[in-house]
Amino acid sequence: MNNWLNVADDHDFSEHNLPFGVFRSGGESHIGVAIGDHIIDLNIYASDGNLSETSFDASTLGEGTLNAFMDCGRPAHKELRIKLQSDLGNENSSLASGRDKYLVDRIGAEMVMPIEIGDYTDFYSSIEHATNVGKMFRPDNPLLPNWKHIPVGYHGRASSIVMSGTPIRRPKGQLMPPDADAPVFGPSKRMDFELEMAFVTCKGNALGDTISTADAEDHIFGMMVFNDWSARDIQKWEYVPLGPFLGKNFGSTISPWIVTMDALDPFRVTGPKQDPKPLEYLHCEKDHSFDIKLQVSLQPKDSESTIICRSNYKYMYWNLAQQLAHHTVNGCNVRTGDVMASGTISGPQKGSFGSMLEISWSGKEPITLKDGSTRTFIEDNDTIHMNAWCQKDGKRVGFGTCSGEILPSN
């Protein structure tokens, strides 16, 4: 421990992390950085002139969302991170002397949406997930011909992305029962989660310009845990010919803290081998995969949680640099605050599958929970908890919990 707060290196929110979020204080939204069981209130810290010598506009930290600060660019994000780490290591710093003013209890804080989301794109970049789903419907040809050539994705609904802890209402829509001649209308019977990570963009590109894989991380502020809720029966009926719509846009849940790319850098790893070799614009000179451990638990109402998935972000076939490069290769302009989700993250074994669709193999293989009940899909009043963290050489970087309860349909 090198800080006067005595936060251990293996704490989720150690000084090696310093993730950004927004919390409610006095009826207003304040930008903060998590350190141990505290939050550094950057609104107050910056307004007192403690960042007057930095090269970026510190007044951006007085906003109610992170967008203005994110738009300052990666050098500014790195500069603030280094400044806070220095202050945490110096008992004579203004942060230390003003701790009663600048530090807030993290455990009891009300976290709110940290960014104003402009657009949201969801990818489909886990080869294990794509193969599993393909086997269920196309056993002889699980992967479609384009899958190993492009990071497949679709544009989702930004307005229904919600903060961890926000309940999600079971959606209604058209369903096609087995052996039926016509669809029926009603609540989804196959509610599912999708274990994903998402990145948030900064310093976008102009319409008509592109972002290369080499420059991609200069346009990424950080990452968070993402649950892309899915109504599988609605999705199955509607997805031909244009893909996901009502089976997806009723809700997605994010974790409250955004972990910066600088915090993730020590956990960089080589991703899966890509064969065939991607086209030149998707070629990467360095690794853009990260060893992020992932866990999903299902908790029935008034009962304990059961871990139903352990996976890892490093399984992703298409990395975030390739996703962003492909997204903009046609001149599409991304903007600060856009969210891009990875798609379901599944590993090679059943215990690492990142959705109930795969875990129960489309409802054919129920799982048993700690309380003795069984599940093939998510039932009303079940809560899904997702956690993500990196750990190496005694140092830990955590993302916090991404949780959501499924409420009965109206």
CA distances from 288 to 213, 283, 316 (A): 9, 11, 10
pLDDT in tens, 296-316: 999 999 999 999 999 999 999
CA separation for the pair 90, 186 (Å, rounded):
60
Active site residue 129: yes
Q: Per CATH, which fold does 120-407 belong to?
A: Fumarylacetoacetate hydrolase; domain 2 (3.90.850)
Contacts 24+ apart (CB under 8 A), 31-35: 31/61, 31/62, 31/63, 31/65, 31/66, 31/69, 31/114, 32/104, 32/109, 33/84, 34/106, 34/257, 34/400, 35/3, 35/5, 35/7, 35/84, 35/88
Annotated domain spans of the chain: 20-112, 120-407
- 1 pLDDT band, cuts 50/70/90, is low
- 2 pLDDT band, cuts 50/70/90, is confident
Share of the chain above pLDDT 70, in %: 100
pLDDT in tens, 218-250: 999 999 999 999 999 999 999 999 999 999 999
- Mean per-residue pLDDT of the chain: 97
Q: Do domains 20-112 and 120-407 have the same CATH topology?
A: no
- 381 pLDDT band, cuts 50/70/90, is very high
Answer yes or no: is pLDDT of 138 > 90. Answer: no
Q: Per CATH, which fold does 20-112 belong to?
A: SH3 type barrels. (2.30.30)
pLDDT in tens, 169-194: 999 999 999 989 999 999 999 999 99
Name every residue whose Cβ is closer than 8 Å to that of residue 325 and which is 6 or more positions away in sequence.
Answer: 210, 211, 212, 213, 216, 281, 282
- 161 pLDDT band, cuts 50/70/90, is very high
Q: What is the pTM of this model?
A: 0.97
Q: Which one from 11, 16, 129, 385 is the annotated catalytic residue?
A: 129
Answer yes or no: is pLDDT of 60 > 90. Answer: yes
* Cross-strand partners of 123: 153
